A and B are shown apart, each in its own frame.
Chain A
């Protein structure tokens, strides 16, 4: 079992729809959760982070965390073609090394 799992996609949604990206993690003691967006050939860009159970909203983005289910998600409202990218989920474990563990990413395609 991978430490951080994401569906590789592609996830295809029409412009204006809500895109829902999901991530599960194996370390129950994980403390911090991050979503990065990566355009093809570019470096990852931090778009959201969440530490507590529940929802956190920032503009069109909402991160949702459920520690009991070891599940974190990212919702993108009013999806735009410019949102087409790979979305990487990253987790900071509770103990041990102080570095992020990344999932392999979900490719999102927003159809105009």
Chain B
């Protein structure tokens, strides 16, 4: 059963703690992406990776870090430096190329208090 999995679905943390969100795909996609969505808003790109061991910053990378050690996995760490971390986090993957369709995982809703 191919797809993108994100865990956990809901995550609660105290302010000042780092937290890592998981994203795994078995679609054999080369590219993976992390987006953030705030209520009533569109998606903003945090980081993306076109190939293993390489990744690029998106529009709102400050306070976040990623790694891409395996093709299937692209974890996102929300650090204590991220000023407003409470949001809905979405992971996506695609083949590379300008025409490649991007598919999303179910998302992780992070609440930091």
User: What is the chain A residue whose CB lies nearest that of B45?
Assistant: A99
Q: Which 3 A-B pairs have the closest CB atoms?
A: A104-B42, A43-B104, A102-B43
Q: How far is the CA of A8 from the CA of B50 in the complex (A)?
A: 31
B98 touches A97 (CB 8 A): no
- Give chain B's interface residues, CB within 8 Å of chain A: 31, 33, 35, 40-45, 48, 50, 56, 58, 90, 96, 98-99, 101-107
B48 touches A98 (CB 8 A): yes
Our pick among B31, B41, B43, B48 for the contact of A44 (Cβ within 8 Å) is B43
Chain B nearest CB, measured from A23 CB (Å): 11
Chain A nearest CB, measured from B12 CB (Å): 17
Our pick among B48, B99, B106, B107 for the contact of A32 (Cβ within 8 Å) is B99
Interface size on A, residues (CB 8 A): 26
User: What is the chain B residue whose CB lies nearest that of A2?
Assistant: B42
Chain B nearest CB, measured from A57 CB (Å): 17
Q: Is A55 an interface residue (CB 8 A)?
A: no
B99 touches A45 (CB 8 A): no
Our pick among A8, A49, A98, A103 for the contact of B96 (Cβ within 8 Å) is A98
